[in-house]
Amino acid sequence: MSNIDSVLGGLGLDARDRQELEQFHNAESQKAMIQGGKLNFHFISKLTGICFKKCVAPGPVSSSAISRTEETCMRDCVNRFMEVQNAVLEKATKS
């Protein structure tokens, strides 16, 4: 039994109303997943752009692979960005 089944089961709904609510829940869940995917894509694109500008030297590309220095910088940039995001979210949820 899923979470939605246990919640709906406790409401004393008839089968038709229960089915309608389940369909609504499923549709809203799918919308949230799609919107979340768009948000995640935007977030990842922005983060990649910020860290790329910071870590990859401008000018012509001399190799098909990133250097060890660039790789370390990108990893540190992403980690730092995530630490700041988590700190901001934690602070916001405590307020």
Per-residue model confidence (pLDDT) at position 13: 60
Q: What are the extents of the domains in the chain?
A: 3-94
Output the pTM of the full model.
Answer: 0.52
Three-class SS of residue 48?
A: helix
Residue segments in the chain with a per-residue pLDDT below the cut of 70: 1-13, 18, 25, 32-39, 95
**CATH of 3-94 among 3.30.930.10, 3.40.50.720, 2.50.20.10, 1.10.287.810:** 1.10.287.810
The share of the chain scoring above pLDDT 70, in percent, equals 72
